[in-house]
Amino acid sequence: MKLTWYGTASIKITVGKTSLLFDPFFSLNPAIPPAHLEDFAKSTAIFITHGHFDHLMHLPTIWKQNTCLIHCGSTVCNALYRLGIPKNRIRTIAHGEELKFGSLTVRIYRSRHIKFDLPIIMKTFFNIRIIRYFKNFKIFLQANRAMPMGEVFAYEIIHKKTNILHFGSLAFDDSVQYPQNPTLLTVPYQGRSDLEKYAMSFILTFKPKAILLHHFDDTFPPISSAVNIETFIKNAKSMLPTVPVIVPNYGKPINLFESHAK
């Protein structure tokens, strides 16, 4: 199983000819290389965790490179219709569904969105970066109106005896029973000023065997920021010494679970 990260929460998981895209997005920061259109082409299925623009806004380009379905909640489906994507290319999903793609199974879980705290809101909106990236800021204000958050989902991607529990935002629904001890937990590391403590308690809830950090980068300034991950990694090493923390590089596939795969 290969996992490739393209910035933000944009992730591709492939096994053989099966390739699943999650929240595909092109970097809007000139300092960060965007994915290539081919990276998001010929997918087996596309999944959306929630409707925010940094998870959705490039779908009107990406769907044309694919013949597959885009899976999302009903609010996001409606936003995608309005953005010009044909209805027969969008599938509404619900909590509890299980879908099969080649040797992969995807289970769908209701989830939640992180609550931005006041310090992070102040830091984002009272910042010189708003002027520096004003063109982006105007685009995002417009995109934000066209793309409501809608329902939030987490996905479990199962392959043989391994599973990835994937979140697009760092929160979960208390009333949902998520799989415990996943082989890999993806941790979107952005959205609060107290992330170090907050993310650790999130991780302790699921007791994963390994962690993959994503969404910590500055792919859509001035709204995103480059989050420092060093302290978190140091804390994780001392608190969870047996749980490796994977920090992906843009566009570089990571071979997962080679030792479990047989």
C-alpha 14/C-alpha 106 separation (Å) is 13
Closest CA to 73 of 10, 143, 147, 153: 153
Closer to Zn ion by CB, 112 or 209: give it. 112
Give residues in contact with Zn ion (CB under 5 A). 52, 169
Shortest distance, position 191 Cβ to Zn ion, whole Å: 8
Beta-sheet strand order (sheet of 18-22)? 90-92, 70-72, 45-47, 18-22, 11-15, 2-5, 254-255
Shortest distance, position 169 Cβ to Zn ion, whole Å: 5
Closer to Zn ion by CB, 95 or 112: give it. 112
Shortest distance, position 168 Cβ to Zn ion, whole Å: 7
Reported in sequence order, the residue ranges of 11-97 that DSSP labels E, i.e. its strands, are 11-15, 18-22, 45-47, 70-72, 90-92
Instruction: Report residue 14 CA to chain centroid gap.
Output: 15
Closer to Zn ion by CB, 169 or 224: give it. 169
Shortest distance, position 219 Cβ to Zn ion, whole Å: 13
Closer to Zn ion by CB, 52 or 214: give it. 52
Closer to Zn ion by CB, 169 or 186: give it. 169
C-alpha 221/C-alpha 16 separation (Å) is 35
Reported in sequence order, the residue ranges of the chain that DSSP labels E, i.e. its strands, are 2-5, 11-15, 18-22, 45-47, 70-72, 90-92, 98-101, 104-110, 153-159, 162-166, 184-188, 211-214, 245-246, 254-255
Closer to Zn ion by CB, 82 or 115: give it. 115
Shortest distance, position 190 Cβ to Zn ion, whole Å: 9
Shortest distance, position 186 Cβ to Zn ion, whole Å: 14
Point out the residue whose Cβ comes nearest to Zn ion. Answer: 52
C-alpha 15/C-alpha 105 separation (Å) is 11
Shortest distance, position 50 Cβ to Zn ion, whole Å: 6
C-alpha 245/C-alpha 211 separation (Å) is 5
C-alpha 8/C-alpha 130 separation (Å) is 19
Closer to Zn ion by CB, 50 or 159: give it. 50
